[in-house]
Amino acid sequence: MAEHRTMQRGALLDAARSLLSEGGTEALTFPALAERTGLARSSVYEYFRSRAAVVEELCAVDFPVWAAEVETAMERSAGPEGKVEAYVRRQLELVGDRRHRAIVAISASELDAGAREKIRAAHGGLVAMIVEALAELGHAQPRLAAMLLQGVVDAAARRVELGAAEEPQAIADTAVAMALHGISRRP
């Protein structure tokens, strides 16, 4: 029975990812979750008390997976510049992943304070990974630089998601160049 509940919960989270990546938070409704999973709407409420609860669980499950992918890419890179490059490139490579699209949709939405706090904490963990490399590169305020760098990554990710005129590789190259050299150099 517990295994069945775990499978149902997993199916609901997977359906939530799809709904979020296809239509943003407006698409994440209990009737839509019920329809996607074949469950009765009342059954959805047995697993989650609200949309915010679904969002919080997705953050708890998906952010660590995403962060681990970025961290692994950084660990495989040599030197602080290599780590910065890996931090930027791996996040941009993950843009097409449904987990990423769902997280972006969540981040852009109106959420209750608990869900917002979970997202902030998860983003904080991602940003914390790069602080050390930025300190090694000589940044006087590596934490501030890390937050601004994440802003560059987020802007680049939005460009990739929108299917901008530039190729994803050109967007990634430019984001890496900005991360490592500011706006004074070309990629």
Q: Which comes out higher in pLDDT, residue 169 or 165?
A: 169
Output the DSSP codes for 18-53: HHHHHH-GGG--HHHHHHHHT--HHHHHHH-SSHHH
| Range with lowest mean pLDDT among 2-16, 70-84, 100-114, 168-182 | 100-114
pTM: predicted TM-score of the whole model, two decimal places: 0.76
In angstroms and rounded to an integer, the radius of gyration of the C-alpha atoms of the chain is 18
Res. 176: pLDDT tops 90: yes
Nearest-angstrom CA–CA distance, 81 and 83: 5
Type of residue found at 85: E
Long-range contacts of 88-93 (CB under 8 A, 24+ apart): 88/149, 88/152, 88/153, 88/156, 88/172, 88/175, 88/176, 88/179, 89/172, 89/176, 91/153, 91/157, 92/153, 92/156, 92/157, 92/160, 92/168, 92/171, 92/172, 92/175, 93/172
Residue 130 has a pLDDT of 92
For residue 181, what are the contacts with CB-CB under 8 A and spacing of at least 6? none
Highest mean pLDDT among 25-39, 62-76, 80-94, 96-110: 80-94
132-146 as b/e, with b when 16 or more CB fall inside 10 Å?
ebbbebebeebeebb
- Range in 55-59, 116-120, 132-136 the model is least confident about: 116-120
Q: Over the chain, what is the mean pLDDT?
A: 84
